[in-house]
Amino acid sequence: MSAYWVIPVAIGVAILLLGIGLIIWGVKEGSNYYDSLINGFDLREFFSRWPPRPEAGALITGGWIAIAVGIIIGVVGGLIFWLNK
């Protein structure tokens, strides 16, 4: 039996974990950004966009895309395993 199915499963799991990390990072960035607006004395950061931060919505969207791609790649690896029995 060949072990070629391990590679797509491992890549799928890695991308899945990356997606989860991106979602967590996006939620943290969003809460930090809006907390800085609420607790700040002025809205300089909001208007000048300084310091530059990654957009929270883009991180969360990228995380969901990475999760979907990771699941698809993992399923392909599972199919390779199942069909080569």
What are the sequence ranges of the domains in the chain?
17-80
pLDDT, mean of residues 40-57: 68
Task: Say what the pLDDT of residue 3 is.
Answer: 83
Q: Is residue 69 predicted with pLDDT exceeding 90?
A: yes
Mind giving me the DSSP string for the chain? ---TTHHHHHHHHHHHHHHHHHHHHHHHHHHHHHHHHHH-SSSHHHHH--S----HHHHHHHHHHHHHHHHHHHHHHHHHHHHT-
pLDDT band, residue 53 (cuts 50/70/90):
low
CA distance 42 to 56: 21
- Residue 65, CB half-sphere, CA atoms under 13 Å: how many? 6
Task: Say what the pLDDT of residue 62 is.
Answer: 95
How do residues 12-46 score in pLDDT, each as one tens digit? 999 999 999 999 999 998 887 777 666 665 666 66
